[in-house]
Structure 1
C-alpha cells in the first residue's frame, strides 16, 4: 500500500466536458462560419446533414469551435485511521469558460509543478491539448504542468489511461466505458453520454446533470488507473463527491 501512496502522490485525475462554442452556427460571426464550413468538408458525415446541423452535433470536440463548460478533478488520499485509499472528486463548471479555466489553473498550481501528473483517458490527444488551446484563446498563461513545448519526454508527467491500455499499439482505441466494462467498474453512462452534453447544456439547460456525469467519469478514470496498475479499486463508501 505504501507503493500506491508513492505512485499516486501528486496525481490529479481530470475529465473535461465540452460543448459547441455557440448554441448554433449562425451565432458565430461570418468569418468563423466560413471556417466551420471549410472544416465540415473533412468531417465524417454519415447522415449527410448540412454543415449547419453538423456544427451542433460535432463542434464540441474541436477546440477552435467548442468550449469547456465543466472540468472534473479527483485525487486519491489517505487518512490516519487506516490504510484504505480514499478518493475525492469535485467539478468546476459554469457558463463562463474563462472563469472555469482560471479556477482550474489556480487549483493545479497549488501542487509542485515539476511533480504534478495530470491523468485523463485519451488525455494526450484530447483533454490536455483542448485545455491548453482554450486557455490561450482566453488569454490565460498556461500552468507549468500543462506546458510541453521545449520539454524532454521524461519531463512531461502527463498520464493517459488509453496510452497505458495500448501498450504501444497506437492504432488501437478503447473508450473509457469499454474498459470500465472489461474491469467490472460501474459505468458513468447510466444518465447521459458525451454525445448528449451539448443538448443537455443548450436545450435542457441542466448544468447540474453534466456536473454529476463529469464527476462520475473521473471516478471511473481513477478506478481504471488503479486496475491498470494492478491495485484494488476504491470501495464505493470511500469515494467522496464534493459539490
Structure 2
C-alpha cells in the first residue's frame, strides 16, 4: 500500500467493553426503557430488551471499558521491536485517565496517529464518549470537533482493506487468517468478554486477549505495507 506514515509514529490499540451492570435488574427503570428503545431496531421481535442486555457493551451509553491495550514500534537499523502495554480493571475512570496520559506524553505530536481495526466505528468514538461521560477533557487525538476528514489522525485497518468499498466488512480474525498472521482469537472472542469479566472475574484473560488484538492490528499494517512480520521475540510487554 506504500503507507506514508512512519510506523514509529503510530499507536495501535484495541479496547474491551462490557455492560455497565452485570444484571438487567440492576438497571434503573428509566435505563431499561432507554435501552429498550435504543436496541429496538437490532432486536426486532427476536429478543426482549432483557435478553439482549448481554450485548450492551457495544454501546457507550450502556457499556464500559475494562481494558485498553496500546502498542507502538521502536525501530532501529535492522529490526522492529513492538512494545505493548495495557490499562485495565474495574475503575473505568482510571483506565481512561491513564490512557489519556499516554497519549498526551508520548503521542501528541502532529505526526502521531492512532490505528485500530474498525477503530473509526467503534474503539475511537467509544473511548471519546466514555471520557465525556466521566467529564475527562478529550485529548487532541480524540477531539474531532471541527476537523475535516483528512485532518483526523486515525488509521483503520478495516477501512484500508475496503479499498473504497463501503459495503464490505472483514473481521480481524478473517483478515489475519488470509494474510498468514497468527490468530488473536485462539482463546475467547468479543462475545465472551462480559462473561469472563463478570462470571469468571478473570481480567488477566481479557488483557491477554486485548493485547493479542493490538499486536494483530500492527501485524496487519505491516503486511499491508509488504514488510516483515513480527516474531515473538520482537514483542515486549511493558
3-state DSSP of counterpart to 1:108: helix
Once the 2 structures are TM-superposed, how far is the Cα of residue 228 of structure 1 from its aligned partner? 1.0
The corresponding residue for 1:166 is: 162
Structure 2: gaps of 5 or more residues: none
Once the 2 structures are TM-superposed, how far is the Cα of residue 192 of structure 1 from its aligned partner? 0.5
The corresponding residue for 2:24 is: 25
The corresponding residue for 1:8 is: 7
Q: 1:69 aligns with which of 51, 66, 70?
A: 66
Once the 2 structures are TM-superposed, how far is the Cα of residue 147 of structure 1 from its aligned partner? 1.2
3-state DSSP of counterpart to 1:9: helix
Once the 2 structures are TM-superposed, how far is the Cα of residue 4 of structure 1 from its aligned partner? 8.6
Name the TM-score, length of structure 2 as normaliser.
Answer: 0.94
CA distance in 2, matches of 1:124, 1:4: 18
CA distance in 1, matches of 2:190, 2:44: 18
CA distance in 2, matches of 1:240, 1:90: 9
Flag as ranges the 4+ runs of structure 1 deviating above 4 A.
Answer: 3-6
CA distance in 1, matches of 2:149, 2:110: 13
The corresponding residue for 1:177 is: 173
CA distance in 2, matches of 1:104, 1:72: 9
Once the 2 structures are TM-superposed, how far is the Cα of residue 156 of structure 1 from its aligned partner? 1.1
Name the TM-score, length of structure 1 as normaliser.
Answer: 0.92
Once the 2 structures are TM-superposed, how far is the Cα of residue 154 of structure 1 from its aligned partner? 2.4
CA distance in 2, matches of 1:108, 1:178: 30
The corresponding residue for 1:222 is: 218
CA RMSD of superposed structures (Å): 1.7
The answer as to whether partners of 1:14 and 1:74 remain within 8 angstroms in 2 is yes
The superposition leaves residues 178-213 of structure 1 with CA deviations (integer Å, 9 ceiling, x where unpaired) of: 000011100111110011000000011000100001
The answer as to whether partners of 1:14 and 1:218 remain within 8 angstroms in 2 is yes
The answer as to whether partners of 2:83 and 2:236 remain within 8 angstroms in 1 is yes
Deviates more, 1:10-19 or 1:148-157: 148-157
The corresponding residue for 1:101 is: 96
Structure 1: gaps of 5 or more residues: none
CA distance in 2, matches of 1:131, 1:65: 13
3-state DSSP of counterpart to 1:201: helix
**Cα–Cα, structure 1 residues 173 and 126, in superposed 2: closer, same or farther, change >3 Å?**
same
Deviates more, 1:70-79 or 1:137-146: 70-79
**Cα–Cα, structure 1 residues 5 and 124, in superposed 2: closer, same or farther, change >3 Å?**
closer
The answer as to whether partners of 1:135 and 1:141 remain within 8 angstroms in 2 is yes
